[in-house]
Structure 1
Amino acid sequence: MLLYLLALVGLYYLVRWYLERKVVSHLQDKYVFITGCDSGFGNLLASRLDTRGLRVLAACLTEEGAEQLRKQTSGRLQTVILDVTQTESIAAATEWVKECVGDRGLWGLVNNAGISFPSAPNEWLNKQDFMNIINVNLLGVIEVTLGLLSLVRKAQGRVVNVSSVMGRLTLYGGGYSISKYGVEAFSDSLRRELSYFGVKVAIIEPGLFQTNMTKTETFIRHTKELWNRVSSDVKEVYGERLLEFYTKYATLVDTVWKSDVNSVINCMEHALTSCHPRTRYSPGWDAKLFYLPMSYLPTFLLDAFVYLVVPKPEKAL
């Protein structure tokens, strides 16, 4: 019986491997719009797709980022300035994309733009701290997608949303995990709705990778700024021991964060170019072997792990 089960599992992976190797035809005629291309995943993906001959429409937050990207790519790649928190900026970029793609429609939409700070115990934060992250990571994704959805549907193309393993489990406070849980929910509903029109929706859930968004010194600076801002009562309750933990945690995590982000870019590329893309991609061995398995643990076990790792507040009962 066990032998038959192993054979079935092996057959499943063999068939999946074969199907996922099939590449979409006429890639040189397809347009892909990517947000957050100043640096990190978006920048590298734009360059990768450009080398494969796709017509890349890269959205950057700054003119400096757009200029640097143009210098390292071919003349096919075009850039536009986009702030995903501003409706006017999204509307202007949407009109620009419509002019670029014409009657062909938009083959790929990659919602990559995102931020991760501030992240800290919830009581150290205010509503605006949560909104700063949610506006970029979730509401920006939604508004950009809604603006370009008709073009993607016309091309029977792809929507690729960048989430995170923190969209599967929450290990610290702040708006980051909230926004990524929202991206997961939005993507799931979108995938089912658009399946009737031949559109495929994929979610990228990276583990820990080193990008400009996750620089250790930036994390430490933001954490100290939050601590200096909180009231004396909150400082007394939590104590500096927790502040020291977050500072040391950022330094420790930096030693295991991976600077080679090719596995993430490979997943994005596959989601856009494979005839049979996956619904979810989890690049990084930490995502596959640690974070995702943890997300399936019973709540009391996951809580026990967090209690074990994170020190208690100074005035805890």
Structure 2
Amino acid sequence: MWLHLAVLVGLFCLLRWYRERQVVSHLRDKFVFITGCDSGFGNLLARQLDLRGLRVLAGCLTEQGAEQLRSQTSGRLQTVILDVTKPESVAAAAEWVKERVGDRGLWGLVTNAGILPPAAPNEWLTKDDFSKILNVNLISLIEVTLSLLPLIRRTRGRVVNVSSPAGRVSLFGGGYCISKYGVEAFSDSLRRELSHFGIRAVLIVPGKYKTSIFPDNTQDVLEGIWRRVSAGVKESYGQKYFEDYCQYFHGLTAKGKENLSPVTNCMEHALTAVYPRIRYSIDWDSKCFSFALSYLPTSEADFILCHML
């Protein structure tokens, strides 16, 4: 019995390995649009795909970021200034992409742009704090995707969204976890709807990596939020709670991995493989910690997270 089971598992792994090694043809003719290319995952992915021969269209927030990226890549790569929080900028970028791809359509879209702060206990924050993060991480992601879907439908291409372990378990207050829960829900519905057209919608779930999304001055950010909190709220929580929370949040965001290639390699696979995965959970912290917590009884997950603070 155990031998038969081992053979079946081995055959399954072999089949999966074979399927995942199948590469899409004519990659050099395919256009991919990436948001958030000034730094981090977007910047590395743009350079990586350019080396692979794809026609990369990179959305950068600043001209400085765009110039730096162009200096590191071939003449195939083109950049556009894109502020995903401004509808007019998104519309202009979508028109720019349409002009570049023409009748060939857009093979891939990677919605990588995102921010994390301000993050703190919910009662310390304002509506504007939540709106700032939701606009970048969720609303703009939806807007960019919807504006480019007609071009992707022409190629039966790929939509690659970037989520987070915090999209399954809310590890702290503020808009970040809420926005990633929203990305998960949007991607799920998008995947099912677009399968009718042969389009693959994929989720990338990185672990903890050192990118600009995690600011070096988290302590200063939290102190700034704490200073503006009302006297009544400060009295209720107390100074010790604030200090413990700073330590907890610093532990969540500090010491991220500096090698970003495991994430961009998964993004590249999602764009170039004939049979991409539905979800790429990268590293054991995203595979085990948040995944296991999300399947625990809620009371037990709450107990673990509450005692981390």
> Which residue number in structure 2 is paired with residue 241 of structure 1?
240
For 1:185 and 1:251, the matched residues in 2 are separated by 28
CA contact (8 A) 1:223 1:246 kept: no
1:8 deviates by 2.5
Q: After superposition, where does 1:33-44 map in structure 2 within 5 Å?
A: 33-44=33-44
CA contact (8 A) 2:209 2:258 kept: yes
Matched, 1:105 2:99: no
Q: 1:88 to 1:127 in 2, by over 3 A?
A: same
Deviation at 1:289, TM superposition (A): 2.5
Contact map agreement 1:21 1:274 (CA 8 A) in 2: yes
Partner of 1:202: 202
Q: Which residue of 1 aligns with 2:125?
A: 125
Deviation of 1:25 (Å): 0.8
Q: Give the match for residue 164 of structure 1.
A: 164
> Normalization by structure 2: what TM-score?
0.97
Aligned residues between the structures = 309
Amino acid at match of 2:296: L
1:88-140 CA-to-partner distances (Å, cap 9, x unmatched) read 00000000000000010000000000000111100000111000000000000
**Which digits, 9 at most, give the CA deviation of each residue in 1:37-59, with x for residues without a partner?**
00000000000000000000000
Find the counterpart in structure 1 of residue 142 from structure 2.
Answer: 142
Partner amino acid, structure 1, of 2:161: N
Q: TM-score, normalised by structure 1?
A: 0.95
Q: Which runs of 5+ in 2 are unaligned?
A: none
For 1:77, the equivalent position in structure 2 comes to: 77
Does the CA-based 8 Å contact 2:210-2:255 persist in structure 1?
no
* Contact 1:23–1:275 (8 Å) recurs in 2: yes
Q: 2:143, 2:254 → 1: CA distance?
A: 36
Deviation per residue, 1:157-215 (Å, 9 max, x gap): 00000010100111111100110010011111111111111110100011111111113
* Partner residue, 1:183: 183
The SS at the match of 1:275 is: coil
In the alignment, residue 292 of structure 2 is paired with which amino acid? P
CA distance in 2, matches of 1:7, 1:227: 58
CA distance in 1, matches of 2:57, 2:290: 33
Residue 314 of structure 1 corresponds to: none
- For residue 179 of structure 1, what is the amino acid of its counterpart? S
Structure 2 CA distance for aligned equivalents of residues 221 and 5 of structure 1: 55
